[in-house]
Amino acid sequence: MEAVGPAGPDNQQRIEKRKFPNRPGGGQKRMRREKKKPVKEGGAEEVLEIDIKNLLASQPETPETASVQLPAPFTELELEVIQLSSIGDGLAVHEGRAYVVPFSLPGDRVAVKVIRHADTHTVVDFLKVVRPSPDRDDSLIGCKYFATCSGCQFQMLAYEKQLEHKKQVIVNAYKHFGDFPEGLLPTVGETIGSPLKYNYRTKLTPHFDGPRRGGFNPDMPVPEIGFNIKGQRKVLDIEDCPIGVDSVRSGITDQRKYVHENLTKYKRGATILLRENTVRTVDEQDPTKFTEEKTFITDSNAVSTEYIGNFKFTSPAGAFFQNNNSILPTFTAYIRDNLSLPVSADNSASEPPKYLVDAYCGSGLFTVTCGSTVQKAIGVDISADSIAYASKNAEANGITNASFIAGNAEKIFADIDFPGSETSCIIDPPRKGCDQLFLDQLLEFKPKRIVYVSCNVHTQARDMEYILKAEKGKGYRVDSIRGFDFFPQTHHVESVAVLTWVGDN
């Protein structure tokens, strides 16, 4: 295992931006770079930029001269990939310049075509493998659209290697997106894999583009229906997606046919919702047995039903719910087990908390699956619609000790009347992470145990730094950090950090 190390001077400065020489006026137009756009904090652009800065800083110094020219767009090159970025693309260095190479692995020598130049790097199109990496195994590829579709990055990489990479993504996030003194953080645990590597996604949203004006007419060709081509805004026509569960895959076929037959009804392009719905019928003779019928829903306002083990959840089909049911029993059990409060300094003994606060509770996934272990549970969300479904889900699953509050963002803990010292708190924010207002209220409440679930480990690392450095957060100890792989074949990783209040010492 690799421990999360100290930030160090270089990392604290986020590695000084590498400067490129001024180019002569001739050819300036054809070497024009993209205009700098605002970078979303913790977003893919910032993550890639930091990966590139660290990669270039690790390379031997090479003399830079004004005669070095950026290759013109559509120039073909051969590059040696030396690193896998946190967003799933390979990184290569050519004449002191970083190149972002999709669908590649460290050790690959690849033929590429230059697409565009950004301030910090050049984006290229993957053409072919000239010499494969020892880690590349193209026999593993399970989709004919791989290496064109933007959805997956790792189908040519053994699953064990995917999990290793995702662990390293978490290590790097805490190294570069937070400033932590040496020894403050535990070693990052091994990433927990998904039982299903394909056929796991219960929701897909293929789309198609429409004419700029006037809508479709009968003489127009049927547009491409699918997902974006990697690095382009063009849609790739996709007839099947093996990442989806069978019901959703059948929905692709069905909805493609519907669009073909009803094209003139569309005034513009559209996104097609495909969400699995499960109807479970219990055997009258043996209540422990049941059959399930899986269908798909296309109406975002229709109610979909999911079963996580023996727990039943309903929510609007267009609302957020985790998209990989196969890993959820393991995941929710892990969260439930880590709510226990230590009663010894070395964590060798623990006891269940009396109370549970499920912040950002949504439709109640954690309140329902973890609520039976506490005397009282409260789910909090700023969405009244989410709270309504969370209440229904608790009732449907016989959770009688749970209540739900549509909280005001400015006083989200105001109506919680039990002591933080006997409470565990789950926080599961959106990709942007928690805002300072929420974190300050969390630290004021001071729960004994915090389980921070994140779909973006980079904003999680930022928030963890804030918690641990805040005056009211200095008594928290980080007990564990580890990843869960909800999305095999892609670069995404869910991260869970567990903190315990141990006091001012």
Residues of 91-123 as b/e, b for ≥16 C-beta within 10 angstroms?
bbbeebbbbbbbbbbbebebebebeebbebbbb
13 is in an annotated binding site: no
The two beta strands, 449-454 and 423-427, are: parallel
The answer to whether 296 touches 250, Cβ cutoff 8 Å, is yes
Parallel, antiparallel, or unpaired: how do β-strands 494-501 and 476-484 relate? Answer: antiparallel
CA nearest neighbour of 197 among 485, 456, 457: 485
- Residue at token pair 């493998």: 129
Whether residue 455 lies in the annotated active site: yes
Q: Are 277 and 304 in contact (CB under 8 A)?
A: yes
Instruction: Tell me if 200 is assigned to a ligand binding site.
Output: no
With residue 458 as reference, give the H or E element that holds it: helix 457-469
337 is annotated as contributing to ligand binding: no
CA distance 195 to 193: 7
User: Do 222 and 210 meet the contact criterion of CB atoms below 8 Å apart?
Assistant: no
Q: Which helix (H) or strand (E) holds 498?
A: strand 494-501
DSSP state of 410: G
Distance from C-alpha of 147 to C-alpha of 230, rounded to nearest angstrom: 8
Write down the catalytic residue from 143, 149, 434, 455.
455
Angle of helix 457-469 versus helix 436-445 axis, rounded to 10: 50
Check if the beta carbon of residue 451 is closer than 8 Å to that of residue 476: no
Hey, is 238 helix, strand or coil?
Answer: coil
Distance CA 172, CA 88 (A): 14
322 is in an annotated binding site: yes
CA dihedral over 105, 108, 111, 114, signed as positive or negative: positive
Strand bridging mode 235-237 / 226-228: antiparallel
DSSP label of 317 = T
Contacting residues for 33 by C-beta, under 8 A, at least 6 apart: 116, 117, 118, 119
Secondary structure string (H, E, C) spanning 232-245: CCCEEECCCCCCEC
| Beta bridge pairs of residue 499 | 450, 478
Between CA 460 and CA 176 the distance in angstroms is 12
Binding annotation for S-adenosyl-L-methionine: 322, 360, 381, 428
* Residues with catalytic roles: 455
Residue ranges for the binding site?
322, 360, 381, 428
